[in-house]
Amino acid sequence: MKLAAVTIAIVALLALAWFRIAGDGDLPLPTLTDGSLAPSIVLISLDTTRADHLGIYGYERDTSPGLDALARDGLVFDNAITVSENTLISHASLFTGLFPRAHATTYKNGGTALHADCDTLAEDLSTAGYATAGFTAHGGWLTPKFAMDQGFATFDHGYRPASVVIGGASRWLDSQNARRPVFLFVHLFDAHSDWDARPYDAEPSYLGKYTSSYHGPLRWPDERWPAASEFLAAVSNREIELDASDLQYLIDQYDEGIAGLDARVSAFVRTVRSDRPDAWIIITADHGEEFLEHGFMLHSTQYDEVVRIPLLMIPPTREAARVSAPRRIDGQVRLVDLRPTLRSLAGLGPARRVQGVDLLPWLMGEADENPAGAAPIYYKALRADGYKLIRSDDGPRLYDLSVPGEQTDIAGRPEMAARIAAMRAELARRKAVDQELRESIQRGAGESVELTDEERDRLRSLGYLE
């Protein structure tokens, strides 16, 4: 009996190994128009990671040596713009290629999940024959409760560090048929402010990398200071005053978090490129973070420290020449452009009901002009033609983006009146178009989300809820 059991176990293991190598039963493998196998796609989202704190975007600190090295094989987008300062809304746009009013997913007014009638990138690729999986580290927004799992065959979520998320993603990759293309989404939360310790935390080996020289009053735990994100919210609300060294200490904490995150991500990507040499790797973020550049902490405005995000696309070695990688790309692109572009990489035709554009023909030199165009930011701002218009209760603000920092409002200059009028009209037009598209897509209202008291407390501690 024991021998028979051992024999059965060996046969089962051999069968599993053959299944992984040979195929997934009768499921057809996705192919391109030339008959070749479609590439794998690995999409990595770095929560709360501002572009200008990475070496590839000129940061003076060595916070991202891993990403900097990977960029030497890829496409670096210098002006990638998110759609919102919020994680849930931005990821819904990333997945659907729709601007926020069109997909209507929001945490506001109790929360509304992604509508089932909205198509997602995971659904696109799953239907095409890809194995799909998502591993996320935001246990509040990026969950099935908000329908962020739509289209993923495997979806693992919860608040946890990069080591845990990447571990799960790696095990899933190892379990997959080596021939079947995969779409893997990985979301990492480590750069975000914490909820029960110092405002920004880091992996143990990176603690003190930049903060060791600080000897000011800020220490956690300390009954004088609220914990973590609540402290940052209190600073933003002018309830706590910081001097220059205190503010630098918070920036140092943030940079330590990015440094640890960079090491995890770059090691993971190197492994993926070795095991899946056909894979396209896309690394981006949902939004950045503020450090009082415009009087606020956390992420609540439409200035570039929040809305200008990293975007790095690393092609398979065999595809590098086709997109002229490595190189930097100055033209403005939007988070919503990723779904149609990644569909195109997978050999799929144009998507229905999508507002982003396919960047691939432009990247390959088959189209001369950048198709992306203006970037509306949740109907509060518009970034277009080298300028940014921000709506406010005090009237419009206008910034010339060729002047770094967005510190000089030029809305009052007479020669800017026509530009402001045109940008305001464009924002209004886009709002109406998005509303019309939403009504054409969604049959009925989106599903309301009921958060538990524990979920509300956690999100409130992260600075999201009042």
Q: Are strands 311-314 and 308-309 parallel, antiparallel or unpaired?
A: unpaired
b/e 244-276 (16+ beta carbons within 10 angstroms → b) = eeeebbbbbbbbbbbbbbbbbbbebbeebbeeb
Q: Could you tell me which residues come within 8 angstroms of residue 231 by beta carbon, excluding any fewer than 6 positions away?
A: 199, 225, 240
- Tell me if 303 is assigned to some domain: yes
The predicted structure's pLDDT at residue 6 = 42
Beta bridge partners of 312: 76, 283
Structure tokens at 39: 């590439």
pLDDT at 460: 64
Rounded Cα distance, 42 and 93, in Å: 17
For residue 251, give the nearest of 59, 57, 464 by alpha carbon.
59
**CATH code, 331:** 3.40.720.10
Domain membership flag for residue 393 = no
How many domains in the chain?
1
Q: What is the 3 state secondary structure string of 259-280?
A: HHHHHHHHHHHHHHHHHCCCCE
Sorted by sequence, the CB contacts under 8 Å of residue 448 that are 6+ apart come out as 110, 111, 112, 113
Distance CA 389, CA 422 (A): 10
∠ CA 399-402-405, nearest 5°, is 60
214 within some domain: yes
Domain of residue 213 covers: 29-375
Q: What is the per-residue pLDDT for 442? A: 76
Residue 152 lies in a domain: yes
Which candidate, 162, 352, 330, places its Cα nearest to that of 260?
162
Is 2 within the bounds of a domain? no
* Placement of tokens 């890809």 in the chain: 130
Q: Judge whether 386 lies within some domain.
A: no
- Residue 23's pLDDT is 46
Q: What is the pLDDT of residue 352?
A: 86
From first to last of the 466 residues of the chain, give the pLDDT tens digit. Answer: 444 444 444 434 443 343 344 445 567 899 998 889 999 999 999 999 999 999 999 999 999 999 999 999 999 999 999 999 999 999 999 999 999 999 999 988 778 999 999 999 999 999 999 999 999 998 888 999 999 999 999 999 999 999 999 999 999 999 999 999 999 999 999 999 987 788 999 999 999 999 999 999 998 877 788 888 899 999 999 999 999 999 999 999 999 999 999 999 999 999 999 999 999 999 999 999 999 999 999 999 999 999 999 999 999 999 999 999 999 999 999 999 999 999 999 999 898 889 999 999 999 999 999 999 999 998 899 999 999 999 998 899 999 999 999 999 999 999 999 999 999 999 999 999 999 999 988 765 556 666 676 666 666 666 665 5
Residue 14 forms part of a structural domain: no
- Counting every residue written for the chain, the total comes to 466
Answer yes or no: is 91 within a domain. Answer: yes
Element (H, E) at 402: none
